[in-house]
Chains A and B, each alone.
Chain A
């Protein structure tokens, strides 16, 4: 059981590590985007899958990371790396401020509130907020030169995105095995029972938003370097909906589920490109079918993995 998932990850990582030798620029771009979107989906999963908060505005934090990078680089002429701490901290702070007043809301009400936030964010971008966000066209021409290296070179950005995915997977694996990760699940499954054991539902709900936003912001940083530009459409409500669907179709709180979900939603459409827009018809249908047949997602999360010293005598 444990070995099976170990082999699965080893094969996936080896494949991703060696992928650039195919030397196919289009697919390199697709797989780079897959890595970045996987990180966003995994970050949303912390909020939606692990803490059980219906966040349908997660593209906001992804976009915030991307726009912070672009604004600092293009408007203020700062080196791209100087944005690195801010793309983590600012989205996390925003998440704390935005989520604190709404985390006590029940699922559907919270959903509406987060959609509203995403729409406000998108409008702020489109209307050139403070003359910084560049309006409907966004911001072009990021300069991703660091010590003479071009980070936006196809293979370089690929490995940056791959490294980001590895880092995210490591953090989430640690989270899963820690007190905080378990607390998120308790708060999701029975908030009253969790509270009565001394687990603050409010703290962990806000925490899940902050951590999810920090990771999404970091993904936005890499995303903005990859395209050397940012625009509002990439971070609108529709994007949030797709990430939301990935988590539910893949399996809440399940790392393999989220990776599979991202693959199906972003990579499969590229494979079936010749079918043009008809392919989305199939995906919409597939989402319906998978929810009916596998309401827990394709690869549901498994519990009951205990440290060895607990089960052994």
Chain B
């Protein structure tokens, strides 16, 4: 049994089938890639897994439990945490305040303890801020700790968002096009970071357009087109699969012209 398994998941938007009976299985320790042309339904798949969309049909099995249709916050509580294609940070707040948002579930203080500033609150608060400090060090963000994230460069914002997700101590980290908008150096650093995250025992599910990156990083790939799975396998197999080359790699050339 895999860590996460999608079984025939279907999502319809006003008569348009965005995702058609999608099935795939992520095992523990994988870096699992999902690729496909623009509009193929990759982000829709992520939104179904994380509970932002409720699929019309199918099951999403996490450690043997069907999580399809649960609230996003409950799914996050089970250890599935994501980043977003177009970065969703709390822009007015500083880097540190963004990262501590990831500690929300792990932090045990109640509203009452917070309001009355009890000793337990103080202890809990300190523990969590120190975790944030460690994460900022790990991600090279310490120098930006007090700066509002909306005024930071794109590449740094990406790191903050990944740091925030890591602060939740997830079991499955879902990255939606993490290299989008990054330069070559930043992409390289990101790949190193993803490898380190994997080595720390976190399973990773990845959507990415940068083919070099996908092929180097992942150990298994699902290819989606028009909401359907058209191929599945390891990077070597996918690169040589004629169905994939026709559907995806051809159109990938067009994208580079944009």
Contact = CB atoms under 8 A, between A and B. Distances in A.
Interface in B85-100: 88-94, 96-97, 100
Interface in A165-201: 171, 174-175, 177-183, 185-186, 189-190, 192-201
B104 A198 contact: yes
Given A195-B73, A197-B102, A307-B129, A180 B111 contact: yes
Interface in B107-149: 107, 109, 111, 113-117, 121, 124-126, 128-130, 132-133, 145-148
A310 B73 contact: no
A196 B114 contact: no
B82 interface: yes
Contacts, number: 132
Contact of B93 (A177, A185, A199, A200): A185
A67 B199 CA distance: 62
Interface residues of A, number: 33
Number of contact residues on B: which range applies?
35 or more
Nearest to B128: A179
A306 B100 CA distance: 11
Interface string A287-313: 000000000000000011011011100
Contacts of A304: 93-94, 96-97, 146-148
Contacts of B73: 194-201
A207 interface: yes
Contact of A190 (B50, B88, B145): B88
Given A189-B91, A197-B168, A304-B93, A175 B132 contact: no
The 9 tightest CB contacts between A and B, nearest first, are: A178-B114, A198-B76, A304-B94, A195-B72, A193-B88, A198-B105, A304-B146, A180-B111, A200-B73
Interface of B: 50-52, 71-74, 76-77, 81-82, 84, 88-94, 96-97, 100-105, 107, 109, 111, 113-117, 121, 124-126, 128-130, 132-133, 145-148, 164-165, 168
